[in-house]
Structure 1
Amino acid sequence: MSFENNTWFEGYCNYCSNYGHMKRDCRKFLREKPQTSQNTSQEDGETMVSLSSDVCLVTHGEQECLHVGTHDVEWVIDTAASFHATPHQNLFTTYKSGDFGAVKMGNTSFSKIVGIGDVHIITNVGCALVLKDVRHVPDLRLNLISGTALDQQGYLNRFKEGTWKLSKGSLVVVRDHICGTLYKTHAKLCHLSLNAVEEEISPNLWHRRLGHLSVKGLTTLAKKEVISMGKGVALDSCEHCLFGKQYKVSFSSTKKNHTELLSLVHSDVCGPIEEESLGGSRYFVTFIDDASRKVWAYCLNRKDQVFDRFKSFHAMVERETGKKLKCLRSDNGGEYTSREFSAYCAAYGIRHEKTVPRTPQHNGVAERMNQTIMEKVRCMLSLAKLPKPFWGEAVLTACYLINRSPSVPLNFEVPEKKW
């Protein structure tokens, strides 16, 4: 296909949407072109985008913008723009809808700014860049990066010999070149963050995010406005919970919780795990404060490492709270009954309560906590389809989530808050 000017245009026609020519060379447009005044023809040749407050965003000819307005990964750098703008809502990481003014287009019509938010992108050199307060203009045909806005964020723009470099200090964030008469760059959405949605997050997603938390726990967090989710939405049946939370009926308990931090700490060792963790561990030990129900976990290569982990735990919690550890309750395992363990407890005035052999119900708090942790580990690994050696990382994640989830013994208070 050839045209009168004998040039081949790399882009799409704005009139017939075919590839390889511009609107002014389009045969369909030339056949159907109405008789218009000189002023109208002049408007067809130029696309202007400006704020209703007379602040100009961008001005350029149609030839320059046709091939940059159809790809949401392509951005045009405009040093005259007062802010970033895009027609694509799916690019936003954070988003707030509303009436934020209007943009005057080249045909004298006005397009509303319907939203504002941040866009996280990965530049062509692999750096993460956050575009702040990007305007959402659905009728805009291209994505704009404002040089002024970047300057306000502390970035340095350099334009020289057809190249553009954006830097911050000694770090080069973007490096690209001119295309036609426009400086452009290609970027990808940052996969480390979720794109923004206006709808409330479903209970099923919160259930998975919080390590397969129960319905009652989710309801409690929603009532406290810790999380936001739709009302009256039932939790779907979770096959990973059915797989990971099977257990024997628990022992009944009638004891009351302590109210003072570190007045009683429960401990138990779980293992051996059938496969080694990524760090070579086969066991983990937990310490649970009875008053706050906060849990700490340490992965172990061998059971005899319990004593070293207990000393580290002891020093940490006493410095965090300013209180003294008074009592430790554990089973009668050899890792707790060594001479050095007993001597250490005696030296620091820690009463060591040991349960009767083969009666795990006497150490029920620690036993149940280890069971809860392993339930979450199995559910998370099953959902993520991760191999079993990731159990060590899953244990630490489970403890982090438990400490920030409602606890039944605390009347659905959060352990981290009580601590």
Structure 2
Amino acid sequence: MSIEDLILRLRVEEDHRKGDKKEMADANANMVVGQSSKSKSQKLLKKNFKKDFKRTTKPLAPKGKAYKKIKGSCWVCQKQGHRAQDCRHKKDQDSDNSGLTNQANVTDMEIDDIDIDLTAVVPETNMVSDAKGWWIDTGATRHICSDKDLFYEFHPADSEEKLYMGNSSSSMIEGKGTVKMKFTSGKVVTLLNVLYVPDIRKNLVSGPLLNKKWFKLIFESDKFVLTKGCMFIGKGYLTEGLFKLNIVIVNDTGNKMIVSAYMIESFDIWHARLGHVNNKLIHKMVHLNMLPKFKIDLKHKCEVCAESKFVRQTFKSVHLRSSELLDLIHSDLCHFKSNPTR
């Protein structure tokens, strides 16, 4: 037995004796004990202590084995000096939990202490939206319009077709047509095969369909920029979760003179792309389905073609030539590092 174990045993015995003295003092509080009775009581106390000590104490370690001090506290009662398997409170805890074996492990918490992210789909809400505005939608596969007055050309639907939404709902398609959007930059984009769906709340422009027509869509810093080649078409800003296009609302949609020189599918653009060819060649290419169908304005005059046909004035002839030393001579500069021509 080590010194630490001996000290521990002595402390336990001292605490036990103090408890017995308090019990004897309480029992003999109102009694007068003589000298002979006092000696008898002390002998009786010693006998009882020896019996209790032999009955309660156990060998700390078996013979031939060293005693190891238990480190840490008990998992059941959180006290030191014994393990959880030897704890007397374990039986009480097992008896309390015996009737809960058929129940699941449930943790009760207050809702205020838990951060829950919920995603809900609201089918209908009271919203005030711009019926004539247009929003760009990269998830839409078709152009959709809810206002019949915005159509430049309209054809009612022959059969009952439905438009299916992302939340498994559907709406009836009542027609198709052509819509022209005029941006604040002055350029006009013509949307073909636009579906007329009165139930939809916003007019949507399909991003994938614009990409198929060689448009470039740029989303950056809550701003949308639409370009085609090196030409700027229009822009938009983030509004209500989507990018709204900055367009000019034209009230007189029935006027056929809205055709702008900056239309994407127009005579002016193809005339410039093909090197300012004549009108007959463009009309022939449209007839052969080599170009998209558009209205050809025979009375339109190209400014570039008109300027290129101007007659240039002749240069004045120079009669004076330098013939003496240190006279001023005009000549062309040459580059000596250039590659020789064949």
What TM-score, normalized by structure 2, do the two folds share? 0.36
What TM-score, normalized by structure 1, do the two folds share? 0.30
